[in-house]
Amino acid sequence: MKKIIFFILISFSSCISIQRYEKIKIAGSDTMYKLLEILSAVYMKNNPNVSIYVTGGGTEYGFQALENGQADIAMASRNIQSDELKIIIDKFNSIGISHLIAKDAIVIYVNSNNPVENLSIEDLNKIYLCKINNWKDLGWKNQEILAYRRMSTSGTYHYFKSHILNGEDYCQNIIAIQNHETLISLIEQNENSIGFGGLGNHSDAKPIKVNNIYPLTENIKKDKYPLTRYLQLFTISEPKGYVRDFINWIMSNEGQNIIKNFGYVGIL
């Protein structure tokens, strides 16, 4: 009887040791944060031995976490910058690998009570450099413009600065907001406000045209909308194991359908 019990315990112990629990750490873009949370939840449901931890903080933070070994994957809403790349080359003898998972657009949002339907690149440049301060100059009422931007750690911040401001600094009157959700919420609350963010917006804030082109899926897919970009996952080297499997799953029909249902434009 003792031999039987001992054999059962050994067998049970062997089963426990065979079962491995994997952990994937992801950090970076606040634009991508909610999307990756949803993708991770679905993947973990189908792979119960995998735990995925997603942290926002901005694209810049994502690359820093990757460089410091605090993340396996960086979420990035912009390309890696030369100084960030140099750290990875010096530390890991690698240029890293970018995995494009979706197309996105920098969308200009205004309050739903705002009748303005279109702004040009030049208009946006003047608003965010404080050369236009009043909605009356854009065809609406005599009211000061309340403009929001993202924090400097955000890939969206840098994309807008590069493509709209031509590298110039935002003027001091522009209010910096920590994340996309807060920015959109503030626009909903104040009819004189304006801000910018990714496509994945599920609110009453109103997206408007830029250069008379609306940020529709077809316009973004064909790069007709002037503020189109890619969303990407970045790894130090060719991913292995469950990190590779997770990224491959995101690029499958199931993963891409989740991306499209969230509001972004799929790669497939």
Mean pLDDT of 28-44: 96
- Residue 63 within a domain: yes
Lowest-pLDDT choice from 106-115, 141-150, 172-181, 199-208:
199-208
Query: With 50 as the cut, is the pLDDT of residue 150 above it?
Result: yes
DSSP code per residue over 229-241: EEEEEEESSS--H
Query: With 90 as the cut, is the pLDDT of residue 190 above it?
Result: yes
Domain count, the chain: 2
Q: Which pLDDT value is given to residue 11? A: 47
Question: pLDDT band at residue 200, thresholds of 50, 70 and 90?
Answer: confident
Domain ranges, residue 174: 107-221
The torsion angles phi and psi of 104, rounded to 5 degrees, stand at -135, 175
Mean pLDDT of 147-154: 96
Question: pLDDT band at residue 19, thresholds of 50, 70 and 90?
Answer: low
Q: Which pLDDT value is given to residue 64? A: 97
For residues 111 and 96, state if they share a domain.
no
For residues 209 and 260, state if they share a domain.
no
Question: pLDDT band at residue 21, thresholds of 50, 70 and 90?
Answer: confident
Q: Roughly how many angstroms between the first and final C-alpha of the chain, as a whole number?
A: 61
For residues 122 and 210, state if they share a domain.
yes
Q: Which pLDDT value is given to residue 12? A: 44
Residue type, 185: S
For residues 153 and 202, state if they share a domain.
yes
Q: Which pLDDT value is given to residue 175? A: 98
Q: What is the rounded distance in angstroms from the CA atom of residue 86 to the CA atom of residue 5?
A: 59
Q: Which pLDDT value is given to residue 201? A: 66
For residues 215 and 246, state if they share a domain.
no
Q: Which pLDDT value is given to residue 202? A: 67
- Residue 202 within a domain: yes
Q: Residues 234, 96: contact at Cβ < 8 Å? A: yes
Query: With 60 as the cut, is the pLDDT of residue 152 above it?
Result: yes
Eight-class DSSP state of 170: P
Query: With 60 as the cut, is the pLDDT of residue 35 above it?
Result: yes
The two three-digit tokens of residue 161, written as one number: 């600065």
For residues 117 and 217, state if they share a domain.
yes
For residues 40 and 145, state if they share a domain.
no
For residues 145 and 128, state if they share a domain.
yes
- Residue 177 within a domain: yes
For residues 34 and 97, state if they share a domain.
yes
Q: Which pLDDT value is given to residue 8? A: 43
Q: Which pLDDT value is given to residue 203? A: 81
Q: What is the pTM of this model?
A: 0.88
Query: With 80 as the cut, is the pLDDT of residue 92 above it?
Result: yes
Edge to edge, the sheet with strand 146-150 lists: 175-177, 146-150, 193-197, 107-110, 206-207
Which uninterrupted H or E stretch holds 137?
none
**Averaged pLDDT score across all residues of the chain:** 92
For residues 117 and 139, state if they share a domain.
yes
- Residue 13 within a domain: no
Q: Which pLDDT value is given to residue 14? A: 45
- Residue 2 within a domain: no
For residues 68 and 128, state if they share a domain.
no
For residues 123 and 210, state if they share a domain.
yes
- Residue 8 within a domain: no
- Residue 47 within a domain: yes
Strands in 73-212 per DSSP E: 73-76, 97-105, 107-110, 118-119, 146-150, 175-177, 193-197, 206-207, 209-210
